[in-house]
Structure 1
Amino acid sequence: MINQAVTDRLQGSGYDVVQAWDGPAAVTLCADAAPDLVVLDVMLPGFDGHEVCRRIQAERPVPVLMLTARDDEADLLVGLGVGADDYLTKPFRMRELVARVAALLRRVERAREMAAHSPTDLGDLRVEAASRRVWVTDAEVHLTPTEFDLLLCLAGTPGTVWTRDNLYAEVWGWPGASGTRTVDSHVKALRAKIGADRVRTVHGVGYALEPGSTT
Structure 2
Amino acid sequence: MTTAPGTVLVVEDEPSIADVLAIALRFHGFEVMVAGTVREALTLAGRTRPDVALLDVILPDGDGRALGRELRARRADLAIVFLTARDSPAEIVGALSYGDDYITKPFDIDVVVARVGAVLRRTRADDVLPQRPPLRYGDLELDETTYSVHRAGRTVELTPTEYALLRFLVRNGGQVVPKEQLLRHVWQYEHTPPESTVVETYISYLRRKLAALGPPLITTRRGVGYGLA
The question of a shared fold, defined as TM-score above 0.5 by the shorter chain, is answered with yes
Once residues 64 and 91 of structure 2 are traced to their aligned partners in structure 1, the CA distance between those partners, rounded to angstroms, is 12
- Cα deviation, residue 69, structure 1: 1.3
Once residues 161 and 31 of structure 1 are traced to their aligned partners in structure 2, the CA distance between those partners, rounded to angstroms, is 42
Is 1:77 matched with 2:54?
no
Query: Which 4+ runs in 1 deviate beyond 4 A?
Result: none
- Cα deviation, residue 173, structure 1: 1.9
- What percent of counterpart residues are identical? 34
Pairing of 1:192-203 with structure 2 (within 5 A): 192-195=208-211, 197-203=216-222
Which residue of the partner structure matches residue 13 of structure 2?
none
Residue in structure 2 matching 1:140, options 151, 155, 160:
155
- Cα deviation, residue 76, structure 1: 2.4
Which residue of the partner structure matches residue 49 of structure 2?
34
Q: Secondary structure at the match of 2:133?
A: coil
Give the letter for the 2:226 counterpart: Y
Is 1:90 matched with 2:105?
yes
Residue in structure 1 matching 2:139, options 110, 115, 124:
124
Larger RCO of the pair (alpha carbons < 8 Å, separation 6+):
1
Q: Deviations over 1:57-93 (max 9, x none)?
A: 11112111111112223222322322x0011111110
Residue in structure 2 matching 1:65, options 81, 91, 116:
81
Once residues 192 and 44 of structure 2 are traced to their aligned partners in structure 1, the CA distance between those partners, rounded to angstroms, is 32
Once residues 52 and 127 of structure 2 are traced to their aligned partners in structure 1, the CA distance between those partners, rounded to angstroms, is 15
Maintained 8 Å contact 1:165/1:178 = no
Aligned residue-pair number:
209
- Report the aligned-residue RMSD: 1.8
Once residues 129 and 29 of structure 2 are traced to their aligned partners in structure 1, the CA distance between those partners, rounded to angstroms, is 27
Q: Secondary structure at the match of 1:189?
A: helix
- Cα deviation, residue 111, structure 1: 2.9
- Cα deviation, residue 193, structure 1: 0.6
Structure 1: which 5+ runs fail to align? 211-215
Is 1:108 matched with 2:123?
yes
Is 1:51 matched with 2:66?
yes
TM-score normalized by structure 2?
Answer: 0.85
**Structure that is richer in strand per residue:** 2
**Structure that is richer in helix per residue:** 1
